[in-house]
């Protein structure tokens, strides 16, 4: 099914035609014929916090300021107590500098950095795990009609995934309305962009749903919980530790959402079953190759 026009509820979304995000490369197909394929671009982005270099991430290059803010926030390096004075992006050297009024020392956190199962910026600090100790998210209720509508609307939106593939998407939603849709080569980058947008625009998290194309792993659950979002939804599957953490913090976790099928492994008591799939119509996946990443 072809993508529709941009969703009217969407505040910010992908622009598949934006220059520099993808390019056409000619190869040879299985019949030995030349074939032009649209391919995602990757480029490094170095993030500084004040004068300290924090990380270099591989990204598609859009919304670098949101990516930097979200990464620092999700790693616990920016808190509500920190006053951000500037976010400066230099596109010539692919660098973002986030400046705060008071400098902080993060060498201890960097020394404890560990590589995780994620891709691209797939790192997690011990502080992230410590941050969920004692955390309990608001018990937000979720209507099944929202899940079905979000699945249909998001799958039909114009996106880099539909035009080139090899990319993850994350969508900030409210009820059945998608609000902010970010894509990147790594699912963590896409989530961090959402987090950065929320931080920049002071968006309240307690009535939001986070939809992702990626797997529901422990670090994805932790990031969502630390963002204060009480519902995490994916068309992909789970890891056991991700489920355990979701249950610990009171996060509603819905996976394998395809058309009107899903499985909820945490927070099922918060689901309001106001809509059920018509018999014989439980699977309405679009014919675009959109499968679980």
Phi first, then psi: what are they for 143, rounded to 5°? -85, 135
pLDDT for 190? 95
Model confidence at 122, pLDDT cuts 50, 70, 90, reads: very low
Cα separation, 293 vs 278, whole angstroms? 27
Q: What is the mean pLDDT of residues 72-81?
A: 87
The CATH number of 142-272 is 3.40.140.10
Question: Cα–Cα distances in Å, from 205 out to 119, 168, 176?
Answer: 25, 22, 15
Percent residues over pLDDT 70 in the chain: 84
Q: Are 262 and 284 in contact (CB under 8 A)?
A: no
Cα separation, 128 vs 217, whole angstroms? 14
Beta strands 168-174; 209-212: pairing state: antiparallel
pLDDT for 270? 96
**Coil, helix or strand at residue 149:** helix
pLDDT at 113 over 70: no
Q: Residue 253, exposed/middle/buried by CB under 10 A (0-12, 13-18, 19+)?
A: buried
E strand residue ranges, the chain:
22-28, 34-40, 43-49, 52-59, 84-90, 95-100, 114-115, 123-124, 142-143, 168-174, 177-184, 209-212, 231-234, 252-258, 261-266, 271-272
What 81-87 contacts at long range (C-beta under 8 Å, 24+ apart), as own/partner pairs, is: 87/200
Domain boundaries, the chain: 142-272
Q: What six digits make up the tokens of 142?
A: 């979720």
Structure confidence by residue, pLDDT tens digits, 207-246: 999 999 999 999 899 999 999 999 999 999 999 999 999 9
Q: What six digits make up the tokens of 238?
A: 């789970």
Average model confidence (pLDDT) across the chain: 86
Q: Residue 292, exposed/middle/buried by CB under 10 A (0-12, 13-18, 19+)?
A: middle
pLDDT for 75? 87
Nearest Cα residue to 165 out of 283, 16, 62 = 16
pLDDT for 45? 96
Model confidence at 123, pLDDT cuts 50, 70, 90, reads: very low
Q: Residue 187, exposed/middle/buried by CB under 10 A (0-12, 13-18, 19+)?
A: buried
Q: What six digits make up the tokens of 122?
A: 């797939």
Total number of residues shown for the chain: 293
Q: Are 178 and 52 in contact (CB under 8 A)?
A: no
pLDDT for 33? 93
Beta strands 95-100; 142-143: pairing state: unpaired
Cα separation, 199 vs 193, whole angstroms? 10
pLDDT for 103? 74
pLDDT at 115 over 50: no
pLDDT at 109 over 90: no
pLDDT for 124? 47
Nearest Cα residue to 160 out of 15, 1, 6, 13 = 15
Nearest Cα residue to 125 out of 6, 40, 219 = 219
User: Hey, how many other C-beta atoms are within 10 angstroms of the C-beta on 11?
Assistant: 14
Task: Give 173 or 116, the one with higher predicted confidence.
Answer: 173
pLDDT at 69 over 90: yes
Cα separation, 248 vs 135, whole angstroms? 8
pLDDT for 281? 44
pLDDT at 98 over 50: yes
Structure confidence by residue, pLDDT tens digits, 253-288: 999 999 889 999 999 999 999 987 655 444 444 434
Structure confidence by residue, pLDDT tens digits, 150-205: 999 998 898 888 887 788 999 999 999 999 999 999 889 999 999 999 999 999 99
Cα separation, 233 vs 271, whole angstroms? 12
């Amino acid at each position: 099914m072809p993508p529709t026009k941009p969703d009217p509820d969407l505040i910010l979304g992908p622009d598949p035609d934006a220059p520099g995000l993808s390019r056409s490369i000619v190869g040879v197909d299985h019949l030995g014929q030349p074939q032009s394929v649209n391919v995602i671009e990757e480029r490094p982005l170095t993030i500084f916090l004040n004068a300290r270099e924090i990380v270099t991430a591989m990204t598609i290059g859009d919304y670098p300021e949101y990516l930097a803010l979200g990464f620092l926030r999700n790693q616990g390096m920016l808190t509500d107590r920190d006053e951000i004075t500037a976010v400066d992006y230099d596109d010539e050297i692919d660098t973002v500098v986030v400046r705060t009024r008071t400098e902080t020392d993060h060498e201890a956190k960097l020394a404890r950095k560990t590589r995780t199962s994620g891709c691209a910026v797939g790192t997690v600090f011990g502080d992230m795990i410590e941050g969920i100790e004692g955390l309990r998210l608001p018990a937000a209720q979720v209507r099944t009609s929202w899940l079905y509508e979000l699945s249909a609307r998001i799958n039909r939106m114009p996106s880099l995934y539909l035009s080139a593939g090899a990319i993850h998407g994350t969508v900030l939603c409210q009820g059945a309305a998608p609000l902010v849709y970010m894509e990147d080569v790594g699912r963590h980058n896409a989530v961090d962009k959402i987090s950065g947008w929320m931080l920049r625009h002071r968006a309240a998290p307690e009535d939001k749903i986070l939809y992702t194309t990626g797997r529901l792993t422990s670090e994805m659950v932790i990031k969502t919980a630390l963002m204060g979002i009480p519902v995490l939804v994916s068309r992909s599957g789970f890891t056991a530790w991700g489920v355990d953490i979701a249950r610990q913090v009171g996060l509603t976790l819905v996976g394998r959402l395809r058309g009107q099928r899903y499985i909820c492994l945490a927070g099922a008591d918060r689901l309001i079953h106001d809509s059920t799939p018509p018999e014989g119509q439980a699977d309405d996946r679009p014919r675009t190759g959109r499968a679980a990443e």
